[in-house]
Structure 1
């Protein structure tokens, strides 16, 4: 009698695509489920029809998902179901656009569609928000004030900015909804190199992020009130931008580097070396990062990218930060080496307090900006808020 050989143990999977960019951007769209900005199976069925590494296919399938989601809205009678469909359509348009080249005309269409869907969703849902146009260097910056529940004026004001590729509207799903549920009001804004500042006014990134931050805080105070406490959260590249602003803006009582970007020049150098390989031209990880750098920095060579990003270092200014500091770190962050968090903490020699939280792989928060584990970093952040600013 032949000996029975057991079949190999079968396991599930922790990845959606082998390519890191496709996998990470899938996590990114799924991250918004908690704030009614995505539906799990809508996304899974969509990525199941996307050819790995094919950015045109990525756009086509997510655009089709956005259109299908919007097409069902006229037949929907329930107010919140209607609102959430608009919010999901917004996120699917944002995701569709993401991997297109800056010159692709579909970007402008998808960008206009995502903003329109976002406004429809918040309006129908009854979310209290006001858009601000902030004068800045002969142009303007966009900001959104999300009024909190009753009494929010007496609580700390949370201010949030994005980074290298995030959008103003996306920040609602990242933090605003969770903050509102806890009684906070939130001010979100975009600066040079982001959103309309880049697309409409041609403003490219500046290392002096205290300038747009100051303009936005001034506008908020003129329009609303002077907050008793102000905490600035910077997402992704915002992990450089927000601490940089904190070094020069005395109105900030706390700053969160989510995740920290202590030295962007060294990261740029690593990407530039990768771009020299034969595989780079077919790798979305590299081509997207370089195309976006040319666009957002206003340069057209790799050498110019490296030169520009060498200015984006917290080493010369971290000692000027005097507020409370919270730094988040993902063990498997594919953009930022974890050692940069150690460098940042060591450089914050005059901060009132400085805490660093590491998320390992088993926690689920090891990716860049803890994507896929939003409730995990929210618990860290809101606990920190309660400890530092509840009085």
Structure 2
């Protein structure tokens, strides 16, 4: 049984905005009402419950804006964006559900309207990248919008969006005096949903383009640019830092060595595969692939993570091809290339953090490991039940690193 939702899978999606409550993205009563409206229903009920509240918030925002109540309008538009963003996770996958695109476009529209009503309005930007352009927002340091400040570049993971990064990370960092650059990379947000551009392992090439863009921005201390990644971004950001040395500091929440690490442990523990055979999951015997496939398809959370999300993000349609692609996402031979100070987090009960201690041990740069416990209410994935604790400790580390009071 889930914490709010009766379905454990939906609970994983629907409790995500609890982390946004301190930063204006939701209120607990609203989340509770969505859970009650969803009830024992499936993905249709879940989607309808979230988008219904989002539409109401958007309508209230429009009315407040019409009446000149811009502070209220801003809050309501931003909150609506968070609710639209949470509505479509159960319908992830290819072919792309039209409802996902509808909600995502409303999410972007309300985010744009809300950010446009800040005291110093924020507009969407485009970062040139190869033959396309990545959508981005520059969130300035609160009250220091026109001053030269350190910049944090935030990178997402498998299924987060810029709305999620805004509430989970950027609001806290902006309040602390950091400019923040949010963007969708290949396989993320708009790049995946609207353009079908898939995730890629060479994140250093993605971040190099983002850094070129960031260095041309006004009021950025070019020697104090931080790269921070959460969820799978806890792998992508270190991978980028291993090949892009203009980064002054690295944050990985949590530190993830590879995508296939957990699958490797699963193959050894559940399928009886030897460690040697599991060293390259894409080359497993077909009978073992079939057994793994059956287990994945019989477990709703695994099916969503691998089949609905993983296949779509990687651009594949079967487990073997997914594993072949996933094997390319590794820090093998790269961790020792990171030069800048690095902070890795390790939430107590986050399975993605199981390899973090070994990752930390492989680093040769100045490094810090932050552990978060269940007793602090922060032992879950990305510390989402106590995000303020994570933000406070990470920003304290950055303040100290840059010798700021």
Give the TM-score, by structure 2 length: 0.86
What is the CA distance between 1:199 and its match in structure 2?
Answer: 2.6
Deviations 1:201-220 (A, max 9, x none): 32211110011111011012
SS for the counterpart of 2:125 is strand
* 2:48 is the alignment partner of 1:60: yes
What is the CA distance between 1:87 and its match in structure 2?
Answer: 1.1
Give the whole-Å Cα distance in 2 for the aligned partners of 1:152 and 1:227: 15
What is the CA distance between 1:17 and its match in structure 2?
Answer: 3.7
Give the whole-Å Cα distance in 1 for the aligned partners of 2:305 and 2:58: 28
* 2:307 is the alignment partner of 1:290: yes
* 2:392 is the alignment partner of 1:384: no
Cα root mean square deviation, aligned: 2.2
Give the whole-Å Cα distance in 2 for the aligned partners of 1:327 and 1:53: 39
Give the whole-Å Cα distance in 2 for the aligned partners of 1:223 and 1:75: 35
* 2:327 is the alignment partner of 1:310: yes
Contact conserved, 1:152 with 1:183, CA < 8 A, in 2? no
Match of 1:175 among 139, 155, 169: 169
1:3 equivalent in structure 2: none
2:35 equivalent in structure 1: 47
2:271 equivalent in structure 1: none
Equivalences for residues 351-366 of structure 1 within 5 A: 351=365, 353-366=366-379
- Judged with a 3 Å threshold, the aligned counterparts in structure 2 of structure 1 residues 35 and 151 are, in CA distance, closer, same or farther, namely closer
Deviations 1:306-337 (A, max 9, x none): 1111111113200000111101111111x41x
Contact conserved, 1:21 with 1:285, CA < 8 A, in 2? no
Give the whole-Å Cα distance in 1 for the aligned partners of 2:337 and 2:32: 46
1:329 equivalent in structure 2: 346
- Judged with a 3 Å threshold, the aligned counterparts in structure 2 of structure 1 residues 20 and 153 are, in CA distance, closer, same or farther, namely farther
Deviations 1:84-141 (A, max 9, x none): 1111111111111122133211111101000001111122233542422122221111
Give the whole-Å Cα distance in 2 for the aligned partners of 1:39 and 1:285: 29
Give the whole-Å Cα distance in 1 for the aligned partners of 2:403 and 2:92: 45
Contact conserved, 1:268 with 1:305, CA < 8 A, in 2? no
Give the TM-score, by structure 1 length: 0.89
What is the CA distance between 1:14 and its match in structure 2?
Answer: 8.5
Give the whole-Å Cα distance in 1 for the aligned partners of 2:359 and 2:41: 35
Equivalences for residues 73-92 of structure 1 within 5 A: 73-76=61-64, 77=67, 78-92=69-83
Runs of 5+ unmatched residues, structure 2: 268-288
SS for the counterpart of 1:156 is strand
Give the whole-Å Cα distance in 2 for the aligned partners of 1:343 and 1:53: 42
Match of 1:242 among 237, 240, 249: 237
Contact conserved, 1:259 with 1:327, CA < 8 A, in 2? yes
2:182 equivalent in structure 1: 188
Contact conserved, 1:156 with 1:229, CA < 8 A, in 2? yes
1:156 equivalent in structure 2: 150
Give the whole-Å Cα distance in 2 for the aligned partners of 1:125 and 1:153: 17
* 2:99 is the alignment partner of 1:113: no
Give the whole-Å Cα distance in 1 for the aligned partners of 2:148 and 2:172: 18
Contact conserved, 1:99 with 1:288, CA < 8 A, in 2? no
Contact conserved, 1:20 with 1:285, CA < 8 A, in 2? no
Runs of 5+ unmatched residues, structure 1: 1-12
* 2:115 is the alignment partner of 1:122: yes
What is the CA distance between 1:267 and its match in structure 2?
Answer: 2.6
